[in-house]
């Protein structure tokens, strides 16, 4: 915002300086012409009674000079007016740009406040007490069951697929297929994260067994390990880093900065949730999804296709070959091909296609079409 204000101030100063220079030049020219005009008038008056040819020629010459000076002045005034109009137009454009930027800044501030509130809500939601006195067994079992239900629903309802072959020969359908690609097992998954948390040779300093079968162990490095009767295990470190191993081989990690990483072993899917509300899903097929707090979804497919689904319902897809497809809320679909062709399809089936050579073909729902040209055919 400060940079914008400085640029705006510099532009206003530049505009005022240019106008001042123009007015100064104009004033000097007017004074010079007035002086020359007065000199001419005095000379003309003093020679009115002289009728010899030499004086008449000189008078005629001075008239021509005067006429030329007037023409030059008019030309300069015209240029000055054009420059003033241009400067005025630039100033108006700058004002419009400033208004747009102020609107964008306002929207960004509102979005920031929304994200800030969401972040606060998520922090409050993620604040879980890990004291052995709490009923941690019920919490772990409940969370694991809920997450399995969520990821199963997502796998059963594959909303995000890459675009079909309808518009480009190298656009393929991609769905999540966990048999296409083998992902790491539980041990390899663990090793992707800080090694300092996976030292197996740490001295045990105390162990406590509860009546319900829960076992709490404390280690020399400050780690607390809780083993539950259902087979789940939770490790908490002094810096608040926590790792939970569920009995179905799922793994949850909570980092000191609040980031949560959950690995679904059955579906071989990883979900990362950040403090700002962003959620990132990584599927075994190589598909990557980003879910933003404002409702926007960004999906990257293994074939290089990138698809964005915005909060207002509009969509944009960028394919590996450079083809760009946009779908508006009203159902209008626009496609731009790498070779320069453009195609717009309306909900009623009408298709308008523009070719690089200027040809335009309009195809109606009944299959009839007409060709026109943009510019001269």
**DSSP symbol at 75:** H
pLDDT score, position 171: 31
Residue 362, in any domain of the structure: no
In contact, 248 and 147? CB cutoff 8 Å: no
- Which of 16-25, 106-115, 116-125, 305-314 is the most confident on average? 305-314
How far is residue 112 CA from its own chain's centroid? 15
Total structural domains within the chain: 2
Give the model confidence (pLDDT) of 248-283 as tens digits: 999 999 999 999 999 999 988 999 999 999 999 999
What percent of the chain has pLDDT above 90? 32
Angle at 154 between CA 152 and CA 159, to 5 degrees: 150
Residue 131, in any domain of the structure: no
User: Does one domain contain both 216 and 312?
Assistant: yes
CATH of the domain at 297: 2.60.450.20
- Higher-pLDDT residue of 189, 241: 241
**Which phi and psi angles does 286 have, rounded to 5°?**
100, -10
pLDDT score, position 264: 93
Residue 364, in any domain of the structure: no
User: Does one domain contain both 106 and 56?
Assistant: yes
Half-sphere exposure of 148 (CA within 13 A, CB side): 14
Q: Is the dihedral of CA 92, 97, 100, 105 positive or negative?
A: negative
Q: Indicate yes or no: pTM above 0.85.
A: no
Domain range for 55: 2-124
Q: CA 30 to CA 24: how far, in whole Å?
A: 10
Mean pLDDT, range 128-149, rounded to an integer: 49
**Which phi and psi angles does 347 have, rounded to 5°?**
-55, -30
Mean pLDDT, range 228-244, rounded to an integer: 92
Half-sphere exposure of 186 (CA within 13 A, CB side): 15
User: Does one domain contain both 103 and 146?
Assistant: no
User: Does one domain contain both 159 and 108?
Assistant: no
User: Does one domain contain both 267 and 305?
Assistant: yes
Where are any strands of DSSP class E within 232-305? 233-236, 242-245, 251-254, 260-264, 269-273, 279-282, 288-291, 297-300
Residue 367, in any domain of the structure: no
User: Does one domain contain both 102 and 244?
Assistant: no
């Amino acid at each position: 915002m400060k940079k914008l204000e400085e640029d705006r101030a510099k532009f206003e100063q530049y505009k005022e300086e240019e106008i001042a220079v123009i007015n100064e030049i104009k004033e000097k020219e007017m004074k010079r012409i007035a002086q020359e005009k007065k000199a001419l008038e005095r000379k003309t008056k003093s020679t009115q009674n002289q009728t010899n040819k030499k004086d008449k020629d000189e008078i005629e010459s001075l008239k021509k000079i005067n006429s030329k000076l007037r023409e030059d002045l008019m030309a300069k005034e015209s240029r000055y007016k054009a420059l003033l109009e241009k400067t005025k137009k630039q100033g108006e454009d700058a004002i419009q740009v400033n208004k747009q930027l102020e609107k964008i800044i306002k929207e960004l501030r509102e979005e920031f406040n929304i994200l800030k509130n969401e972040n606060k809500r998520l922090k409050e939601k993620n604040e879980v007490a890990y004291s052995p006195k709490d009923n941690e067994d019920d919490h772990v079992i409940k969370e694991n069951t809920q997450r399995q239900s969520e990821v199963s629903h997502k796998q059963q309802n594959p909303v995000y697929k890459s675009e079909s072959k309808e518009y480009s020969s190298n656009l393929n359908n991609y769905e999540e297929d966990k048999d296409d690609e083998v992902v790491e097992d539980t041990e390899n998954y663990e090793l992707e994260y800080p090694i300092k948390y996976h030292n197996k040779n740490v001295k045990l300093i105390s162990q406590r067994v509860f009546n319900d079968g829960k076992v709490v162990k404390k280690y020399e490095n400050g780690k607390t390990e809780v083993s539950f009767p259902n087979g789940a295990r939770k490790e908490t470190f002094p810096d608040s880093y926590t790792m939970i191993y569920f009995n179905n081989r799922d793994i949850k990690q909570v980092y000191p900065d609040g980031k949560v990483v959950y690995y679904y072993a059955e579906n071989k899917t990883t979900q990362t949730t950040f403090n700002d509300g962003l959620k990132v899903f990584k599927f075994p097929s190589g598909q990557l999804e980003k879910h933003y707090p404002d409702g926007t979804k960004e999906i990257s497919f293994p074939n290089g296709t990138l698809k964005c689904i915005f909060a207002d319902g509009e969509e944009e897809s960028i394919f590996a070959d450079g083809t760009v497809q946009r779908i508006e809320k009203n159902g209008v679909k626009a496609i731009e091909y790498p070779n320069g062709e453009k195609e717009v399809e309306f909900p009623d089936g009408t298709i308008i296609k523009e070719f690089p050579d200027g040809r335009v073909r309009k195809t109606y729902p009944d299959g009839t079409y007409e060709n026109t040209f943009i510019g001269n055919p």
